[in-house]
Chain A
Amino acid sequence: MEVRRFDQILAEHPLFQSFDAATIALFAGCAKHEHFRKGERIYSEGTPADRFYIVTHGDVALQLATPEREPLITETVHAGEMFGWSWMIAPFRHSNDAVALNEVRAISLDGKCLRGKCDASPALGYTMFQHWVPHLLTRMQSLRLQVLDLYGVKA
């Protein structure tokens, strides 16, 4: 079986494919494979957001703890999608819990290491900003629609 290198995988990913080869190589140097069992917590709200993830197989629930009730799932993430964006934004702490809904395989990237590289090279940080902020805006707009309660009686 052919083992694909991180740079090959990232170069084909929609959120990475417009980066140049040198930047892809830099990302690949910060990447590692991860495996999570069904029900396993990938990270918890409030903990340091030092890694972010690209799901390659399986589904992940992003959820909020609610006192004396079961957690509320606000979003699910599926194969090909990225999560754990808090690594980019101070104070670099996760704003929700991520839980594997089934067997999950993912590529994780070392966000803390990338932050250091961006500090050393603001041009790299600006490139990432240009590439990913449109995606974050789309995601924010989606979340805005969710909180509008579109399907309620008054909608």
Chain B
Amino acid sequence: MDAADPMLPRRYRVIRATPEIAGVATVELAPLDGPAVPFAPGQFNMLYAFGVGEIPVSISGDPARPERLIHTTRDVGRASGAIVALKEGDMLGIRGPFGSSWPIAAAKGRHALFVAGGLGLAPLRPAIYHVLNNRADYAGLTIVYGARSPEELLYAEEIGRWKSRLDTEIEVTVDHARPGWTGRVGVVTTALPRALAGTDPATIEAFVCGPEIMMRFTLQALAAAGVPAERSWISMERSMKCAIGFCGHCQFGGDFVCKDGPVFRHDAVADRIAVKEF
């Protein structure tokens, strides 16, 4: 096989399949056609469920351990459903990694703020791992995570471990809850003031991922708090097919999300993210 051909999938074996929240599963994969492929936080792969279809999925594992390729997928259709249903020993085709990445290494010395909504935590997790692996390089680490309900918190156990670290600030909020939940209830933007209290907004490098409406309002809240637009980054999602900027399915104004994104600096897309035609 020609490993240089970006349109040709490589074979991976599922070495672990973990159910997460309802309809969501994480697979850990090992390469069958050569060595592990390094990736940068925020990049995505095209996952091919043989005989069913191919979809783009962000990489959600540790970039320092590319031999453990990890993807978290939600079942929203035939191809994603087939990937969520994978079991240990099953095979998957993978093309990638593709796209731009969170500029987390360039944010060295700054206060890393991650704002995630729902499954948006998965594309941010590699960047969070990078900061945790190199914590002394960053002035601060704050994670703000919003989900629909306590039952739909992704990576809940891991969040618990992050919370126990003395060098990490975490605010978790859910949209609604039943009695017994002692955490915050409210949309993710309401958790930002407390998360940012005592931090000079000029020192913040913000990385935001979630549904587009959530990102739009989060960016507004960050701007109101004084975080400069050139220090805020988002990850866009569009219908990516070829992943190399040829087919045009994911065109977003003058950019292709697969090639020029998915990670964009806020000020580079600010005039487009509220335009419904895009």
Contacts and interface: CB of A to CB of B under 8 A. Distances in A.
A97 to B, nearest CB: 11
Interface in B208-254: 210-211, 213-214, 217
Interface string A139-155: 00111011011111101
Nearest to A63: B179
Interface in A27-80: 59, 61, 63, 70-76, 78
A21 B218 CA distance: 34
Interface in B15-63: 23
B148 interface: yes
A102 interface: yes
Given A72-B178, A73-B176, A142 B76 contact: no
Interface string B137-166: 000000000111000100000000000000
B175 A146 contact: yes
Contacts, number: 74
Contacts of B179: 61, 63, 70-71, 73
Interface in B57-94: 74, 76
Q: Which of A73, A141, A146, A155 has the most CB of B within 10 A?
A: A73
A102 B147 CA distance: 23
Given A145-B189, A150-B117, A151-B148, A72 B176 contact: yes
Nearest to B179: A70
B177 A150 contact: no
Given A145-B189, A145-B214, A151-B211, A74 B117 contact: no
A82 interface: no
A153 B76 contact: yes
Given A149-B148, A151-B147, A151-B148, A142 B182 contact: no
A150 B23 contact: no
B185 A74 contact: yes
A144 to B, nearest CB: 9
B184 interface: yes
Given A75-B185, A75-B186, A149-B148, A155 B213 contact: yes
B119 interface: yes
Contact of A74 (B118, B152, B176): B176
Interface band, chain B: 20 to 34
A101 interface: yes
A102 B179 CA distance: 12
A151 B76 contact: no
B176 A150 contact: no
Given A76-B184, A145-B189, A153 B74 contact: yes
Nearest to B119: A151
Given A142-B189, A146-B187, A151 B152 contact: yes
A83 to B, nearest CB: 12
Contacts of B148: 149-152
Given A145-B189, A151-B152, A59 B182 contact: yes
A74 B194 CA distance: 19
Nearest to B177: A73
B182 A149 contact: no
Interface in A118-155: 141-143, 145-146, 148-153, 155
Interface of A: 59, 61, 63, 70-76, 78, 101-102, 141-143, 145-146, 148-153, 155
| Nearest 10 A/B pairs, CB to CB | A151-B118, A145-B187, A151-B148, A76-B185, A142-B187, A73-B177, A146-B175, A150-B211, A155-B211, A70-B178
Given A71-B178, A73-B178, A75-B185, 16 more contacts: A63-B179, A72-B177, A72-B178, A73-B176, A76-B186, A78-B184, A101-B182, A142-B187, A142-B189, A146-B175, A146-B186, A146-B187, A151-B119, A151-B147, A151-B210, A153-B76
